């Protein structure tokens, strides 16, 4: 079995929105984040495209058991060579 090394690198996004002083809470289920799903898909597509332009690297989805509403894990793997 080959030896595999791993190193974690995190791109972390924190979504924020300011509200007026009379804001009554998040009972609407964070409706203001509604358009983020499409934005996140575009960002993921861009990451995959960048990786594809670099020979010797492959990118694939990973899974840490969290909902894709909260986290997306991608595995960027160096192939070939030492």
pLDDT in tens, 40-66: 999 999 999 999 999 999 999 998 788
Q: Determine the Cα–Cα distance for residues 40 and 46; give it in Å rounded to an integer.
A: 10
What band does 9 get if pLDDT is binned at 50, 70 and 90? very high
b/e map 18-34, b = 16+ CB within 10 Å: eeeeeeeeeeeeeeeee
C-alpha Rg value of the chain to the nearest Å: 18
Alpha-carbon torsion (15, 29, 62, 39), positive or negative: negative
Show the tokens assigned to 14: 């924190």
Beta pairing class for 57-62 and 73-78 = antiparallel
Is the model's pTM score more than 0.75?
yes
What is residue 81's predicted lDDT score, i.e. its pLDDT? 65
């Amino acid at each position: 079995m080959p030896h595999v090394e791993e190193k974690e690198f995190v791109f972390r996004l924190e979504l924020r929105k300011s509200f007026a002083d009379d804001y009554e809470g998040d009972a609407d289920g964070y409706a203001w984040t509604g358009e983020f799903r499409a934005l996140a898909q575009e960002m993921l597509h861009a990451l995959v495209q960048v990786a594809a332009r670099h020979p010797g690297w492959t990118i694939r989805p990973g899974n840490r058991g969290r909902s894709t509403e909260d986290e997306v894990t991608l595995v960027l793997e160096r192939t070939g060579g030492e």
